[in-house]
Structure 1
Amino acid sequence: MLGGIAHADIPPSNGVYTGCYTQAEGDLRVIDYEDGERCRRGEVTVTWNAAGPQGAPGLTGPQGPVGARGPAGAQGPAGGQGPAGPRGPAGEQGPAGTLQLTEVRGPRVLTVPPGGFDTSTAVCPTGQKAVSGGGIRGSGMVVNSSFRQDTDAPGDSWQSNVHNPTSAPLTGRTFAHCSP
């Protein structure tokens, strides 16, 4: 008695099955046609596809249950600057303010000779700021400049530079308006 092992690639690579059918006994055996195997005498060769033609789509099934909530996603990038909003209504008028000013005069009276120049300074009390000032001048005296001066003194000061364009001596003095 002889025995053996046969190997066949079934289904074949082309997807078509080949079989041998014996009509007298009603037997069907599958063969590897691609490997050269053939039906015997008295058998009929039959073939069929591994997959038939696609059928018509089925009916839509019922809706499934709601799934569980997924995890929160990562935060997205910041959005751009939005447009300016409309202007708001005007606010109520506030109470009237008060300004406390102290007038301070320079420590000396200037006597400026004819055609001469001089400078005088008025110093505000400690902790106060000079907010305006000027020069008190005699008739014909010219104030060339008058300005706030930041000094190392305890208070701000105001300085005036004067000129006497006349032919007689004139007197004058600098003053400052100081505010807390």
Structure 2
Amino acid sequence: MKSRRRGIAALAGGALCASLAVGGGVAIASIPSTTTGAITACVNRSTSAVRIIDYQAGRRCSAAETTLNWSKGYTYRGAWSASVTYSAQDVVLSGGASYVARTASRAQSPASVPTAWNLLAARGAAGPPGPRGPSGFSGYNVVTQYVTVNTGTQRLVDVQCPSGQVPVGGGAHYGNAFPGLGNAQWAYVSESSIDESRTGWASTLVVTPNQGNTYFEANAICVNA
């Protein structure tokens, strides 16, 4: 009795070796079944010998054997596509639900062809609305100031936001446009940050002795407080 139990328990391991023997012949592609994905084995009730059979081809266990079936396991194939050929036990996503293939198919919609697909997990109902998020900025406003800095000097420019608004960004650049013409050998912005009062955006503008009087644009990005 113990020997028989050990033999049956060894089925999972022995099946891999026995899978080459198909009713005394050579295994073919129908193991696992191409239609169901199942693997069928026969266990001799006297000797506990195990053999894998080609059930799809019509092979069956004898009266002295016990028939065992198990699945080859699911194969996840991602989102269903009409251009892909699927095999039995393939799992796909379609319309928010998951389906497992009952048989090989192509261009057979899971939701429309129940002979080819079984519903694995239905799409859940929509949940309740989540809590309202924090309010975003309002009153977006860019305040601009133009200044001329003399040659060989530097100047602190503090662009102030209107009353009721606060700065969230800003900066400055050489010229009244920003075409990338600035050259640190002549003129540059040495620092730029929110000012200490938190009411504007300050920038330090520098012009070297090699450059004549230079025109700058300074900006503060303001929003409602």
TM-score (norm 2): 0.33
Structure 1 or 2: more strand by fraction: 2
TM-score (norm 1): 0.40
Structure 1 or 2: more helix by fraction: 2
Indicate the structure whose relative CO is greater, using CA pairs within 8 Å and at least 6 residues apart. Answer: 1
Larger radius of gyration: 1
